[in-house]
Amino acid sequence: MPENTAPDGATSIGAPHIEFRDVVKRFGDNTVLNDLNFTVAKGERVTLIGPSGSGKTTILRLVMTLEELTGGYIHVGGAPLQYEDQGGKRVRVSDKTRRRTTTQIGMVFQHFNLFPNMTVLENITEAPIHVMGLSKAEAISKAEGLLEKVGMSDKRDFNPSQLSGGQQQRVAIARALAMDPEILLLDEVTSALDPELVGEVLAVLKDIAAETDISMLIVTHEMQFARDVSDRVMMFDQGSIVEEGSPEKIFSDPGHQRTRDFLHAVL
Amino acid sequence: MDGVIGFFEQLGPNIEILGARMPQILEGVQVTVLAAAFGGLLALVISFVFGIAQTVKLGAVRIIARIFVEFFRGTSLVVQLFWLAFVLPQLPYPFGWQLAPLAIGVLALGLNYGAYGAEVVRGSIGSVPKGQYEALSALSLSPVRGMFRVIIPQAWALMIPSLSNLWIQLLKGSAIVSTVLLYDLYFRVEQVRDQTGTWFAFLFALVAYYLVAWVIVIIMNALEVRAKHKIGRGPALSDSLGTLLRPPGGKNVARGAMV
Ligand SMILES: Nc1ncnc2c1ncn2[C@@H]1O[C@H](COP(=O)(O)OP(=O)(O)OP(=O)(O)O)[C@@H](O)[C@H]1O
Ligand SMILES: [Mg+2]
């Protein structure tokens, strides 16, 4: 894995990798996140749990810049992501700069979102060639390595529609990794899968967690997986953090009734 | 009823007249096919340019495209045709062009149906699932690259049935170009009408236009099957040749065969 070098060199050692500062997100008059503050350290794996509608997906989408912040700031590797504070004024970061920052961030979606008009291999090589500037040969050999890692080498020339959900999701993981992300966002990546396909995807993710130092922000209902890979679990309700702690603490000895109720309902 | 009875009484001689006039009629078919082909091609280009222009981020581009589309959809094809044929030549140099009748026909058909096609293209681009745009964004692919490499190939498969309908409408609408001295199929049918009577002449016209429409349908069905196959929906073109021949107005091939 590459060292954490933001393109503008803004990364400072010890600074949080992701920082939410007084984040507000509203959809119309529905306030989803209200003054949210938290950080994710470099290489840390943080799992977000909480009831439906508590804002978990919204948090990930804000980091990926798929949603616009209503208020506050998000910093990635020390650099402002969507807005920056310029002498007390909240200034929008340009699309170009945003894109430069988000190049370090990968996301895997619940519904895979592979490009159906491209083969498995093309799905993986498209961004490395056209965003990172790799040569076609470099991109292909990299993609082949990743396909091997996710156990999909024999499917490189298939169309996504010819694959099972679990296989598609493994390709989507390889596609995200092909950009050498320093941050990986996983939003319920197994909830669209048939139960018998969940294991193969989680196994791949566990390997990646073990072999790399990518920071991860994970939303999942697979509590055993959360326990296995997370350094920290944050329990959300109505857009704010109810409690956080090590997975052992949260899953075995939660401090709040709302966490106990939630875990009772999902386990 | 005279017409109907006359139709049968005169059937033999009428067919003979038609046979004698065949060279001119075939010339007419040729002109109609040219107008429909080049008009269709121009309409396709305009559809894409103005359809895509309506989806770009830059507001000014969107507004200009919108105005163009509204103008050509909102004003009559006949009036547009007359402008090109009779008003344009009177404009001062260097605008005062006297275009050839076929060019006038192609331009008017292309502009008018292209404006409708632009709406089809815009709509299909909007129908590509949101997740595709989000994946592009998550991979930091540029909007332009994403549009041409990912969104358009998927939108293309969605828009072909509507474009196919528009093209057939354009073919039928092309009968109007005879009013600017273009000797198309309709003009030639009008010519034989004097000798054969209304029933026979227009029945022949129905059949002739229907056959040309059928060719369009076959082409578009083939394109649709191919486009759907490319996005992983449905069989390869070589496996679906049998279904291509369905006549115009029939159930759409690719949709029927695939779901
Ligand atoms: N695009 C949107 N427009 C309007 N409201 C939205 C939008 N996206 C999310 N919301 C609202 O924001 C709130 C939080 O949604 P979010 O998807 O973040 O919840 P979640 O914690 O991921 O829930 P789940 O476990 O069901 O996925 C919900 O009330 C939802 O209705
Ligand atoms: Mg969610």
| Ligand 1: residue whose CA is nearest its atom 26 | A52
Query: What is the number of the ligand closest to the CA of A59?
Result: 1
Residue type, B236: A
Beta partners for A237? Answer: A240
Average pLDDT over residues B223-234: 89
Residue B166 has pLDDT above 60, yes or no: yes
* Domain encompassing residue B144: 2-199
Q: What is the pLDDT of residues A190-249, one digit of tens each?
A: 999 998 899 999 999 999 999 999 999 999 999 999 999 999 999 999 889 999 999 999
Nearest residue on chain B to A67, alpha-carbon basis: B134
Q: Which of A68, A101, A102, A113 is the best residue to mutate to test the B interface, defined by the most B CB atoms within 10 Å of its own CB?
A: A113
Q: Which two tokens stand for residue B214?
A: 């059928």
Hey, is the C-beta of B245 within 8 angstroms of any chain A C-beta?
Answer: no
Any domain includes B92: yes
Any domain includes B9: yes
Q: How far is the CA of A80 from the centre of ligand 2 (A)?
A: 24
What ranges do the domains of chain A cover?
2-104+181-266, 114-180
Measure CA A151 to chain center.
Answer: 21
Q: Which fold has domain A2-104+181-266?
A: Rossmann fold (3.40.50)
Which 3-state string (H, E, C) describes chain A?
CCCCCCCCCCCCCCCCCEEEEEEEEEECCEEEEEEEEEEECCCCEEEEECCCCCCHHHHHHHHCCCCCCCEEEEEECCEECCEEEECCEEEECCHHHHHHHHCCEEEECCCCCCCCCCCHHHHHHHHHHHCCCCCHHHHHHHHHHHHHHCCCHHHCCCCHHHCCHHHHHHHHHHHHHCCCCCEEEEECCCCCCCHHHHHHHHHHHHHHHHHCCCEEEEECCCHHHHHHHCCEEEEEECCEEEEEECHHHHHHCCCCHHHHHHHHHHC
- Interface contacts (A, B; CB < 8 Å): 67
Hey, is the C-beta of B258 within 8 angstroms of any chain A C-beta?
Answer: no
Any domain includes B51: yes
Residue A60 has pLDDT above 80, yes or no: yes
Average pLDDT over residues A254-267: 90
> What ipTM was estimated for this complex?
0.90
Q: What is the pLDDT of residues B52-111, one digit of tens each?
A: 999 998 999 999 999 999 999 999 898 999 888 888 888 887 777 888 889 999 999 999
Beta partners for A106? Answer: A184
pLDDT at B258: 33
Residues in chain A closer than 8 A to B124 (CB atoms): none
CATH of the domain at B63: 1.10.3720.10
Do you find a cis peptide bond into B94, omega within 30 degrees of 0? yes
Nearest by CB: A116 against B137, B142, B232: B232
Any domain includes B210: no
Hey, is the C-beta of A98 within 8 angstroms of any chain B C-beta?
Answer: no
Calculate the average pLDDT of chain B: 87
Hey, is the C-beta of B49 within 8 angstroms of any chain A C-beta?
Answer: no
Distance from the Cα of A121 to chain B's closest Cα (Å) equals: 15
pLDDT band at A103; cut points 50, 70, 90: very high
Nearest by CB: A127 against B129, B139, B230: B139
Q: How many distinct structural domains can be found in chain B?
A: 1
Residue B165 has pLDDT above 70, yes or no: yes
pLDDT at B176: 87
Any domain includes B228: no
pLDDT at A4: 43
Average pLDDT over residues A88-106: 93
Beta strand spans in B165-258 (E): none
